[in-house]
Structure 1
Amino acid sequence: MYSSSYSRARLGPESRQPLYRNKGKSCGYYMRIVFFFSSLIQSLIIVSLVLFLIYGQPEKSAEEKRVEELEQGFNKLSKNNIDLRKEKGELGAQLAARTAEKAGLEKEMTKQKTEANNTEHELKKKIVSTEKKPGEMVQYLTHERDSALRDQDVNRQEAIKLGRENNLLKEQLTTYIRCCPPVHIVYLT
Structure 2
Amino acid sequence: MPKIVDHDQYRRELLKQCFDLFAERGYAALTMRNIAQGLGVSTGTLYHYFPSKEGLFEQLVRETTLRDIQSAIAAAGQQECVLGRVEAALEYVAQNEDFLRKQKLIWIEFYQHQHRESGAPTEVFHRVCQENEQHVAALLGLDDPKLIGFLSSVVDGILLHRIYEPQSYSFRDHARILIDMVKLYLTDRGSLRPLD
Q: TM-score, normalised by structure 1?
A: 0.17
Larger radius of gyration: 1
Task: With a CA cutoff of 8 Å and minimum separation of 6, indicate the structure with the bigger relative contact order.
Answer: 2
